[in-house]
A and B are shown apart, each in its own frame.
Chain A
Amino acid sequence: MSAKRSTDDRRRAERTASVSFVVSAVAAALFALFVAFDLRTQFQGAAFGLALGAMAVGAVIWSLRVLVQVQVEDKRDASADTPLVENTPKRASFLQTSAYVALGALSIALLFPFRALAPAYGSGLYRTKWRPGARVVRDDGTPLRPTDIAVGSVMTVFPEGAIGDASSATLLLRLGWATLQTIAHSSWCPRGCIAFSKVCTHAGCPVGVYRQSTQQLLCPCHQSVFDVARSAAPVSGPATRPLPQLPLVVGSDGYLRASSDYLEPVGPGFWNRS
């Protein structure tokens, strides 16, 4: 009885598997058409996915329902206990030693051409593009007067001529009188305008969020929070150092200018920072 049934099962499985393969072939042809006529990604993917899926069904049915299920047994070799190399001399001969020295020297020498891949770092680590007298401009190049900034607002500014420069990106805010009293370098804040580096001192992301109600700057990458009223000192999150403050003056033309570069390196720390 079971022999008869199993042949029937096998026949049925064979049929199902063949149908799957036919479906797969048709779906593959459809995929080719869909790509040729530039149909939507979803149609292309559905057709190709179906071609692969039907192929999978066919192969698995063939393997599990058509083929006779057998179990085979492999013996394991016993692990060899005899050493591979016998009678090795106890002491390395001069021949061996010199060969090792040559190999070592060769590999070390080969490291040196990699110098070409790492440009020398001059002052770039410590300085930005802010120069004494550089005008403060928005990202479209417009220079700014103190009155162009509303009290309580924030904008991203650059030194004139270096718009978009990553390390020079700076946040410009205008503070009310009361807040200004709490700032250490209040002489750097003409008419309440105050500028902090936009590069987070934690991992270098742009400090992109300003919470106006609490006067806090927040870095969206790792949620370091800097308190503007305390000269951008970190008050929460993983950052350890305040955002450096840029000394500002108002020039004779009435525009905001930097009176110097940042007095410390901006951004995250590194070994020879100080």
Chain B
Amino acid sequence: MIRRIVETLDNRLHAQPFLRGALRKAFPDHWSFMLGEIALYCFVTLVATGVFLAFLFTPSMEHVTYDGPYAPLRGASMSSAYASVLQISFEAPAGLLVRQVHHWAALVFLAAIVVHMCRIFFTGAFRRPREINWLIGLTLLLLALFNGFTGYSLPDDLLSGTGLRIAYSVAESVPLVGVASAYLFFGGAYPSDATSERLFVTHILIVPAIIAALITLHLAIVWRQKHTQFSGPGRTERNVVGSPLWPNYALKSAGLFFFIGAVLVALGAFAQINPVWIYGPYAASSVSAPAQPDWYVGWLEGALRLAPPIELHVFGRDIPPVFFPGVLMPLVFFAALYLWPVIERRITGDRAEHHLLDKPSSVPWRIATGSAAVAFGTVLTLAGSDDVQAAHVGIPVEGLVTAYQVLVVVAPIICWFATFRIAREIAARREHLKPESDRIALSRDERGGFAAQPAGAADPPDLQGARR
């Protein structure tokens, strides 16, 4: 049956020459190459669950009185957006499951992208000829972050409404175009009745379409340029060694897809996420305390909390305090990431093509810089929930803020030097163990004398033979 279909298609498309090569394409085996796939499969899950949710969600600020099955909110005034989320959660068959899987998939999607990016960074996989895919990947990260935010803002609950208010203030803080762009995106002064529709179209159409297009491009480029690989016997700059796409790799990857699905469904079933009925419907003059965003916005929330109270007045105009941590800092951070391939090329002067990956420790200053950035992001993310920590430990939040303010400067510096030292140590040790170093292998003859062996004759067995 399948053979007949394939034959029919091939007769019409003449796909054989392409398929013959494609099906035996080599996919190197290394656990870290799985991270991007995890992100991809999260995106598939997001689209599948998102389509389901989009049909049941009502993007409208129209006021309704709740009369559904959730007793504590019966009779409460709320937007139809919020009411439809309650309907999805309590009435639609499998609605709550799909909603929670969708939210978990978004959290894991962002996490997978970030870890995947760290892998690319630390192994130098972004170097020529893969700079384009580094840029596309970063853009995907930004889009995913943005779409995560618009997504969890849709239900119009008290928690996400507060987040939107902050986002509005940050947009408004940009010199010259701030107010205009905030009005453009939110459809007027906050809170505007138009915001819900804007968020909806952005979240389910515009951004996902761009993400899908960029993922396609990302993968097409990977296909065209072929995978990178770690060095090993038989692996050179001129080849790729790995499992053939069909059937070994395809089956393994299908297994990963189902595994990711299983984990996300289990999380959606057993780990409650974003219970908007507990937060209550949004009211502009109310706030839920403590208020925490999804994890990937935590670094921005933390930055807003830690930034010193600075407001600038220039030419009689106003640059409010949220501009620096909310706009300038992320701008500089991402600009540095986008420019990193160029920065590194400037430092090393290395313009050659690289298809063999670096061991992370072999370029100490790169891994040091990367871990300093990770430390910076981690401290900011932790600071984003300082109120919860203060309440748990029972200390005043002001003291904790001061501690984090010190830490956000000191931790990256310490991290840089510590990582640099450790990496250099590891690299030196590896250099020492290298089989083809300038050491000479000796052999002993019957009479007790020593003789140097010809080079290469007595290489020690390889410590990391090709994985089967």
Interface, chain A (partner B; CB < 8 A):
35-36, 38, 41-42, 44-46, 48-50, 52-53, 55-60, 62-64, 67, 69-76, 79, 114, 117-119, 121, 124-125, 139, 156, 158, 164-167, 169, 198, 202-206, 208-209, 220-223, 225, 234, 236-241, 267-274
Q: Give which listed residue, B252, B259, B288, B401, contacts A53 with CB less than 8 A.
A: B259
Q: B residues within 8 A CB of A71?
A: 26, 241-243, 466, 468
A166 touches B184 (CB 8 A): no
Q: How far is the CB of A155 from chain B (nearest CB, A)?
A: 11
What is the chain B residue whose CB lies nearest that of A62? B251
Given contacts A67-B247, A79-B129, contact A206 B170 (CB under 8 A): no
Q: Is the CB of A73 within 8 A of B247?
A: no
Further 10 A-B residue pairs, CB within 8 A, beyond A56-B259, A204-B168: A48-B269, A50-B262, A60-B252, A156-B285, A198-B285, A223-B398, A238-B306, A238-B325, A240-B310, A272-B179
Interface contact B309-A240, CB-CB below 8 Å: yes
Total chain B interface residues with beta-carbon distance under 8 A: 98
Are A202 and B321 CB-contacts (below 8 A) given A49-B265, A73-B26, A221-B291?
yes
Tell whether B18 is near chain A: CB-to-CB under 8 Å: no
Partner of A220, one of B242, B308, B319, B387: B387
Query: Are B258 and A239 in contact (CB-based, < 8 A)?
Result: no
Report whether A52 and B466 are in contact in the complex, using a CB–CB cutoff of 8 Å.
no
With A73-B240, A241-B311 as given contacts, are A125 and B285 in contact (CB-CB < 8 Å)?
Answer: no
A residues near B268, Cβ cutoff 8 Å: 41, 45
Q: Could you tell me if A239 and B321 are in contact, using CB atoms closer than 8 angstroms?
A: yes
Q: A76-B237, A119-B188 are in contact. Are A63 and B255 (CB under 8 A)?
A: yes
Asked whether A208 lies within 8 Å of B289 as measured between CB atoms, the reply is yes
Cβ contacts under 8 Å, B237 to chain A: 76
Task: Please name the residue on chain A nearest to B192 by beta carbon.
Answer: A119
Asked if residues A73 and B239 are in contact (CB atoms below 8 Å), the reply is: yes
Q: What is the chain B residue whose CB lies nearest that of A114?
A: B184
CA distance A167 to B198 in the complex (A): 21
User: What's the Cα separation between A58 and B258 when bound, in Å?
Assistant: 10
Interface string of B230-261 (1 = CB under 8 A from A): 00001001111111100111011011111101
Bound CA–CA A69/B269 (angstroms): 36
Look across to chain A and name the residue whose beta carbon is closest to the beta carbon of B286. A206
CA distance A204 to B170 in the complex (A): 10
Contact: B319 with A164, CB < 8 Å? no
Contact of B322 with A268 in the complex, beta carbons under 8 Å: yes
Do A238 and B285 form a contact, CB below 8 Å, given A60-B252, A119-B183, A271-B175? no
Cβ of B172 < 8 Å from any Cβ of A?
A: yes
B353 closest partner in A (C-beta): A79
With A59-B255, A117-B187, A220-B290 already in contact, the answer to whether A269 and B318 are too (CB < 8 A) is yes
| A-B contacts, 11 listed (Cβ < 8 Å) | A36-B93, A45-B269, A46-B269, A49-B263, A63-B247, A118-B183, A166-B190, A205-B165, A206-B285, A220-B290, A221-B287
Contact flag A240-B355 (CB < 8 Å), given A119-B183, A164-B284: no
Given the contacts A41-B96, A63-B255, A67-B251, A52 and B265 also touching, CB distance less than 8 Å: yes
Nearest A-chain residue to B288, judged by Cβ = A220
The yes or no answer to B180 lying at the interface (CB within 8 A) is yes
B424 beta carbon closer than 8 Å to chain A:
no
User: How distant is A222 from chain B, measured CB to nearest CB, in Å?
Assistant: 5
Q: Is B397 in the interface zone, CB < 8 Å from A?
A: yes
